[in-house]
């Protein structure tokens, strides 16, 4: 938390991280309380919270290109087995870039449903999201192939 304060991470961001994982934390808490393994549960939950905090500080304080370059450097041993660290880095960059695109697709689907005045349970819109995501994946694959990166 001290590193988070030094990185000037807003408290709202911390709360959002915990709220999004609250169901997982609650399930783990109940499991360890019911099983009577309170010490193990405390260890697991505190380790999980520490990892969440560390990842939040890392992602907040380090630009994404620097993280990807570091990941490529960590993958350098792949060259020993005829692997390509750069391709792994490209895959990571595509994955990271895809997350906001998929979230935007979800917001567009919700807006389209709201504009039509339809009341639908959100889980029923999942198929539309899958179709939009697959379309984006095909477009990305075509763009990579056009640049000769499909091999």
CA–CA separation, 33 vs 23, rounded Å? 15
DSSP string, 21-70: THHHHHHHHHHHHHHT-HHHHHHHHHHHHHHHHHHHHHHHHS-HHHHHHH
Specify the pLDDT at position 115: 93
Specify the pLDDT at position 91: 87
Digits of tens for pLDDT over the chain (151 positions)? 667 666 777 778 777 777 878 888 889 889 999 998 889 989 998 898 888 888 888 888 888 899 999 999 999 999 999 888 988 888 888 888 898 899 999 999 999 999 999 888 888 899 999 999 999 999 998 988 888 876 6
The verdict on pTM exceeding 0.85 is no
| Cα dihedral 89, 126, 15, 46 in deg (nearest 10) | -70
């Amino acid at each position: 938390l001290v590193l988070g304060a030094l990185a000037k991470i807003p408290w709202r961001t911390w709360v959002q991280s915990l709220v999004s994982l609250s169901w997982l934390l609650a399930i783990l808490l109940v499991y360890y309380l019911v099983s009577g393994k309170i010490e193990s549960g405390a260890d697991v939950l505190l380790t999980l919270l520490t990892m969440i905090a560390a990842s939040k500080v890392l992602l907040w304080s380090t630009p994404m290109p620097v993280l990807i370059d570091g990941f490529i450097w960590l993958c350098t041993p792949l060259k020993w087995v005829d692997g390509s660290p750069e391709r792994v880095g490209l895959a990571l960059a595509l994955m990271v870039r895809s997350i906001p695109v998929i979230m935007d697709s979800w917001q567009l689907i919700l807006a389209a449903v709201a504009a039509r005045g339809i009341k639908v349970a959100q889980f029923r819109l999942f198929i539309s999201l899958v179709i939009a995501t697959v379309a984006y994946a095909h477009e990305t694959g075509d763009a990579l192939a056009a640049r000769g990166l499909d091999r």
